[in-house]
Amino acid sequence: MASNPSLVMRILSASVAVSNRASNIIRNVLTKGDLGIVEKGKNDLQTEADRSAQRCIVASLHKQFPNVAIFGEEQLDPQETIPKDFIELNFDEEVLKHTCPEYLKDTKDEDVVIWVDPLDGTAEFTQGFLDHVTVLIGISVKGNAVAGVVHQPWFNFEKPGLPLGRCIWGVIGLGAFGFERETPPPNKVIVTTSRSHSDRMVTEAVEACNPDEVVRVGGAGHKVLLLIEGKVHAYVFASKGCKKWDTCAPEAILHAVGGTLTDFHGIRMNYSADVQRKNTGGVLATVADHGKFLGCIPEHIRDAMDK
Ligand code: AMP
Ligand code: MG
Ligand code: MG
Ligand code: MG
Ligand code: MG
């Protein structure tokens, strides 16, 4: 173990452990079969898996880090009793073997905001596209995404015999772990975007990148996994529908491996406690050539995305 681990590494280590617990909770909800679907808004669902996973993550991290701000996607009753077996107080030892990057060593409780998407890709979850689902725990320091966990509960679900699920974590300045880095094919352009929250502008922005292939899948977390594993070149989402909890962990992990996630003006997201939850400038994420993709976006689309 790194001696006297920093606050950021302790939060990250706890987040990896708690994501394993949340992932079990999510799989159990599906096994039991009653998803308890609630419609929060237009094209915006919540299930018992979203609710239970958030209870687990927020209550566990709050117990460990009572003075750190934690925001979860789901609006739940803060007074409700959390089942004992939802509380995970362990630390992942693997994370603690790594040394905290110098720029994060003096981080204080009040500098940190944790953004939790207990289940990213809910629409796809309810439709059986299980590998689109991820659990996202993003750690921001002074408004910047710096570290995160993207846990995929059903990784390998169509490959019986292989271990089910995986946890990818990373820190900017340290790197990202839990997956195999690949670079995308050099002679074509593959773009990923939403499959369940698309509209004319979303499609027009994708087409403006002149893709040879378009991969429409669920989840901001899942799409960033496609990027870091070299399956796609860019994630293009000209919409105001993604929120801070969708992008914080993916942005940190993508930047930890040298990629880039910004809005449609090329600006990194702000994750301070007082920001509006929506990423109203849209989302553009790439493993390389970020400027080239930004340059493909027509002016009227850029203008439609907030600055
Ligand atoms: P998608 O690529 O459609 O899976 O979207 C990525 C994340 O942003 C998911 O958590 C979605 O629920 C969320 N999201 C995107 N667009 C919308 C929208 N119009 N309304 C609600 N949530 C959205
Ligand atoms: Mg989400
Ligand atoms: Mg969610
Ligand atoms: Mg949602
Ligand atoms: Mg999307």
Q: Looking at this protein, which amino acid is placed at residue 283?
A: V
Rounded to whole angstroms, the Cα distance separating 9 from 75 reads 28
Is residue 264 within 8 Å of 302, Cβ to Cβ? yes
Write b or e for each residue in 99-133: b if 16 or more Cβ atoms lie within 10 A of its Cβ, otherwise e. Answer: ebbeebeebeeebbbbbbbbbbbbbbbeeebbbbb
- Which residue's CA lies nearest to atom 5 of ligand 1? 219
CA dihedral sign of residues 98, 148, 194, 31: positive
Task: pLDDT band for 4, please (50, 70, 90 cuts).
Answer: confident
Q: What confidence tens digit (pLDDT) does each residue in 34-62 have?
A: 999 999 999 999 999 999 999 999 999 99
Closest ligand 1 atom to Cα of 121: 4
- Residues involved in catalysis: 50, 122
Q: Is 199 annotated as a binding residue?
A: no
Predicted TM-score of the model (pTM): 0.98
Q: What confidence tens digit (pLDDT) does each residue in 200-243 have?
A: 999 999 999 999 999 999 999 999 999 999 999 999 999 999 99
* Predicted local confidence at residue 224, as pLDDT: 98
Measured CA distances, 12 to 50, 114, 297 (Å): 21, 10, 35
Q: Rounded to the nearest whole angstrom, what is the distance from the C-alpha of residue 125 to the centroid of ligand 2?
A: 11
Q: What ipTM does the predicted assembly reach? A: 0.98
Q: Is 120 annotated as a binding residue?
A: yes
Q: Rounded to the nearest whole angstrom, what is the distance from the C-alpha of residue 122 to the centroid of ligand 3?
A: 6
Give the tokens for residue 48: 């018992």
